[in-house]
Amino acid sequence: MIIDSFLILLPMIFLSLSGYVLSRIFPLSEDTLIRIVTDFFMPVLVFYSLYTSDINLTKTIKLLGVVSFVLIFLFVLSFLYCRLFKLDFKAFAPPILFMNSGFIGIPLMKLWGGFAAMNYIVIYDQIQTFYIFTLGLIIVTGGFTLKGIREMIKSPLLWAIISGFLFKFLEIPMPEKLIEALGYCGAGAPALAIFVMGCSLNNTKFVADTHLLSGLIFRFVFGYIAGWIATSILNINGMERTVILVASSLPSAVFSVVLPLRYGINTRFAGSLVLISSILSIFIIPIVFYLAG
């Protein structure tokens, strides 16, 4: 099982390494690539996946409960850790709370379980994205600000989430050819997301200390534990349980660096955690698949 899970990661390893190598050779604009993924390809994929998903409202509410529990669980642990060691909660918490369920999780689940697993983690990811633009903004700014609200309103991802859920659950009809076009465009998002993540690793500054080790334990171990508790409480089994456990144990999200950076917060810890957790995920993810099995 572990070997099979590792083989699932090979296309992702190849794409991320390609992004890393090419960004070392050519002057690729990381900001432009991230904008292309987050403002076009990902929103299209999100809307298409939500609209065509066979998940019902009950499962969506359960998934909302899972993501909420995982984030609250990690929020409380991070807060207590920062109080104990007198760390900056704004810099420490984002890479602990938010996992890379988009750039890594979506292509991973498509490789592992096809469109059914991918659509499920897309919904997981979009619930988390909603929290990034709400809870994440509260953490890094100390509360809602006018600038933060403007950024939230301008986000194509957020509108894709809202419109996707509305069109899905209100059963608003759309032309079949348009749906096919959205599916064709969105199909490129997972591969491009992994490529961009590889490019971003090239510019990440690394810092090693004991808190980095704690951060890895929080992200991988306590993330898995939070997902396990949530699925047990809500009685979620089968493919959905595996998706949740793996998603909750994924490396730190790129947004956990981008969001604090926009508000002048030191991101050396977040950048280091994103880099190291992404590299370690090559070995961690197969183990999580084995445990989830």
Please state, in angstroms and as integers, the Cα–Cα distance from residue 69 to each residue in 62, 186, 238, 248, following that order: 11, 29, 20, 11
Coil, strand or helix: which one is 99? strand
Question: How does pLDDT run across 217-276, given as a tens digit for each residue?
Answer: 999 999 999 999 999 999 999 999 999 999 999 999 877 876 676 666 777 788 788 878
Q: Is 252 helix (H, G, I), strand (E, B) or coil?
A: strand
Within 10 angstroms of residue 227's Cβ, the number of other Cβ atoms is 28
Q: How far is CA 230 from the centre of its chain?
A: 18
CATH of 2-10+28-292 given 1.20.900.10, 1.20.1530.20, 3.40.50.2300, 1.10.10.10: 1.20.1530.20
| φ, ψ at 127 (rounded to 5°) | -65, -40
Taking a C-beta distance cutoff of 8 angstroms, is the pair 28, 20 a contact? no
Within the chain, what is the greatest distance between any pair of CA atoms? 57
What are the residue boundaries of the structural domains of the chain, listed by start?
A: 2-10+28-292
Rounded to an integer, what distance in angstroms lies between the CA atom of residue 139 and that of residue 137?
5
The predicted-structure confidence for 49-108, as pLDDT tens digits, reads as follows 888 877 777 888 999 999 999 999 999 999 999 999 999 998 899 999 999 888 788 888
